[in-house]
A and B are shown apart, each in its own frame.
Chain A
Amino acid sequence: MTDTPTGPGGPTLAERLRGRSELGVCALLLILGVLVLGDALTMDTSFAQRGPVGPKTVPVVVGAGLLVVAVLLAVDVLRGGRGEAEGGEDIDLSAPGDWRTVLLLAGVFLGNAVLIQPLGFPISGALLFWGSAYALGSRSFSRDPIVAAVLSVVTFFVFDRLLSVPLPGGPLMGVL
């Protein structure tokens, strides 16, 4: 697994970090571990303790575990270990990542979160579907909005009326 020469006179730190974006995962685990440990250790348990194991114990174990795993993963990555990206039917791993699409999708999704209450689900849901399909490369301006609207309204009725899972109707459903 080790293809990086180590030892004195080896590559500089910058060289060793190149192509190791996976170290970002280690950093994330480290931050998460510090967060969990910090939260657990500052917890005031004197009044709430019931039984020999209080609410602190498990978070301390999990936090410590996160720190250990972060270090072990960093060692593995620096030795040349790689997490295998997940394959799939519609996934082409040879192509470079298309982050623009992902950002667009995230934006559309957040837009739905903001609009769902003022506009109601039938409208915000249709916008979510249309926007997502657009971000993913669909450019049929006659078909996409119709598909989006039908899907959104049908889903609203199935969930809100048939399955009694409440969704906000918004002004549109107030009219109908």
Chain B
Amino acid sequence: MDSLNSLLDGFGTALSPVNLLWAAVGVLLGTAIGVLPGIGPAMAVALLLPVTYGLDPTAAFIMFAGIYYGGMFGGSTTSILLNTPGETAAVVAAMEGHPMAKAGRGAQALAAAAIGHFAGGMIGTILLVFLAPTVADLAVDIGAPDYFAIMVLAFVAVTSVLGSSRIRGFASLLIGLTLGLVGLDRLTGQQRLTFGSLQLADGIDVVIVAVGLFAIGEALWVALHLRTRPDQPIPVGRPWLGKAELRRTWRPWLRGPAIGFPFGAIPAGGAEIPTFLSYVTEKRLSKHRDEFGKGAIEGVAGPESAASASAAGTLVSMLTLGLPTTAVAAVMLAAFQQYGIQPGPLLFEREPDLVWGLIASLFIAMGLLIVLNLPLAPVWAKLLRIPRPYLYAGILFFAAVGAYAVGGEPLDLVILLIIGLLGLLMRRYGLPVLPAVIGVILGPGAELQLRRALQISDGSLTGLVNTPFAVTVYVVIALIVTWPLIRKLLPRRTEARP
């Protein structure tokens, strides 16, 4: 097998002492960030974007992937012990995990979650190894119209599938696209929205937008409504599983990836929907249906496995098509742009060391995570006691470091604060942040591809739909846009949601 050979080469890259070190740093940071309230993997990767100025790309992405997977592991700890999930992926874990912890079975819940993440991540990553090169091969000769179609798909999906209000999603997307317009036009050098400022002619760096919206916006929003007495986590011992529990959890662990992986690969909001679907499935299949809602272990095992598998699915779309389906993938895409690397079908040909080193490091990260999380869960739970002023002051501090590192310009710090206040406003009024970030990251590229496609077709709009690939993508977009209408026409299903 070709991909197996490449994977072996990848292990050669990932097992070098330096890269092992970065993988370890990534999973440690990721777990800590997942456990810490108020800070998610997307914010963490955004805050760490400045390391891209100093590190080589392979090391940076190995660390980012470790953070992504580690965040999933750590997020369930908070859910189970505190009942306040920080990551959307961990919402479902709180539904069964927290009642288990209250009933004194927190150790089993943590074990079911950790092994679930391990199983889901492993199966998902194995699927990634075999699927990603195939997808890349299929997509290898896609051109400007196809790229444009994929980016439009990302815009439409992120505004329509996520969140409760499409108008607010589109408002957020347009704000992002506007921020992306600032600077010199890439094809003609024309100044746009610079208002004569030399500083703005360079454009607003993606790092500043991502850090501003994710980190400063979040910290200020929390400061506005800071809980005066944080909830106390339930103390817990070392996670373990008995035989009876193992008998109940091994099937959910294996079923989770079947739901999680495909949902991670499509732009449907990452882990939120698959964890929920997995929960419903486990509830329906369980012999202990009456325990659901009061602490059924299947309801922790299945969704957590689905969550980690969806992270692997997300990487398929991000690496092979350059299509970010979650906030973390969007920020990782920004990191690729910092290095001047274009993720997409050609990535596997041009940067095999990077891609396969990254994929191999995922397996290593998973091994490190299970070792770190099973015996050390009580230690991680101590992080929940960090004084909140230090936590949010720290976020502001590292955000400032990151923004200043972009160009050594104090003005960047002012722009960062303004974007942070915008992020605060968006959180206050229910404008989702992700569409804005996707708009900034993909907007300039989308415009470039659009203009290239129309240049080739000499201005004829048919130039945008002259490939089967692009047509397929537009059909999908049409389906997403008209979905609410279609659902109204379909006969109502009599499905009771939990």
Contact = CB atoms under 8 A, between A and B. Distances in A.
Contact of A129 (B53, B190, B397): B397
A153 to B, nearest CB: 12
Contacts, number: 244
B188 interface: yes
Contacts of A50: 187-188, 455
B460 to A, nearest CB: 8
B50 A88 contact: no
Given A69-B167, A73-B167, A164-B54, A92 B190 contact: no
B19 interface: no
B50 A97 contact: no
Contacts of A59: 181, 192-193
Given A43-B190, A102-B220, A109-B417, A53 B174 contact: no
B389 A137 contact: yes
A136 B392 CA distance: 8
A106 B417 contact: yes
B53 to A, nearest CB: 5
B281 interface: no
A132 B405 contact: no
A147 interface: yes
B428 interface: yes
B458 interface: yes
B413 interface: yes
Q: How large is the interface on A (under 10, 10 to 19, 20 to 34, 35 or more residues)?
A: 35 or more
Interface of B: 37-38, 50-51, 53-55, 78, 82, 84-86, 164-165, 167-168, 170-171, 174-175, 177-178, 181, 185, 187-190, 192-193, 195, 216, 218-228, 230, 387-390, 392-394, 396-398, 400-401, 404-405, 408, 410-411, 413-414, 417, 421, 424-425, 427-431, 447, 450-452, 454-455, 458-459
23 contacts: A32-B175, A39-B192, A39-B195, A51-B451, A52-B458, A53-B451, A62-B178, A65-B174, A84-B430, A88-B222, A89-B85, A90-B227, A92-B227, A95-B228, A98-B226, A113-B410, A113-B417, A151-B394, A152-B397, A155-B398, A164-B54, A165-B50, A168-B408
